[in-house]
Amino acid sequence: MTAAAPSGVVTFMFTDVEVSTRRRENDAEAMRAALAAHDEVLCKAIEAHGGLMFKHTGDGVRAAFPSPSCAVDAAVTAAWGFDAGSLLHVRGHRPT
């Protein structure tokens, strides 16, 4: 089930996979599998903490949350969900 879009004061989470273009050029199949795992982890974490993913960028997401604590909890959940041996290094951005 998809969460409803939060209203009022909203907290955004932006993610980005570092050097994804180079990794895709070096091993497209491995990168495709890694990004699929990335998407699954992030989508589950965002949904579990009341967020709404409103944009997928190919190597990252844009999500909105009803509170800062929900966004932080989702980010921590996602970080723990990523495979330590993964090709991906994910950054989170906190716009001010």
pLDDT in tens, 13-27: 988 877 677 777 888
pTM: 0.78
Q: What is the DSSP string of 2-68?
A: PPPPP-SS-EEEEEEETTHHHHHHH-HHHHHHHHHHHHHHHHHHHHHTT-EEEEE-SS-EEEEESSH
Neighbouring-strand partners of residue 63:
13, 53
Task: Establish how many alpha carbons lie within 13 A of residue 70's alpha carbon, considering only the half-sphere containing its beta carbon.
Answer: 18
The CATH number covering residue 34 comes to 3.30.70.1230
Alpha-carbon distance values, 40 to 47, 67, 80 (Å): 11, 22, 13
Residues of the chain with pLDDT under 70: 1-3, 19, 83-96
Is 21 within the bounds of a domain? yes
Query: Which structural domain range is residue 62 located in?
Result: 11-93
| pLDDT of the residue at 92 | 57
| Number of domains forming the structure of the chain | 1
Share of the chain above pLDDT 70, in %: 80
| pLDDT of the residue at 38 | 85
